[in-house]
Amino acid sequence: MNIEKDELVDILQEQFDLIEPLIGKMKDISKAVFLSDDVSEESYEIDSVIDDLTEVFESLDALICDLE
């Protein structure tokens, strides 16, 4: 499969655009869980997922910048 650089940037940008709002929503959920009376192990798992998504998001952003 031979993908042109511009096509790759477009594909990566689409993925970037999908991930960005998810991180915001997950942060909102995490805040709500921590503000509730029942802080459980799930809240820490949510934070771990947020950290992982943020890392992917930052890597994807750097890759897009490198390709442009």
pLDDT tens per residue, range 20-64? 888 788 778 777 776 766 666 666 677 777 788 888 878 888 887
Q: Is 4 helix (H, G, I), strand (E, B) or coil?
A: coil
At 64 the pLDDT is: 79
Apex 60 CA angle, 59 and 63, nearest 5: 85
Share in percent of the chain as helix, strand, coil (round to 5): 85, 0, 15
Where are the domains positioned within the chain? Answer: 5-67
At 55 the pLDDT is: 84
At 9 the pLDDT is: 83
Q: What is the pTM of this model?
A: 0.52
At 31 the pLDDT is: 76
Choice between 37 and 19, residue whose per-residue pLDDT is larger: 19
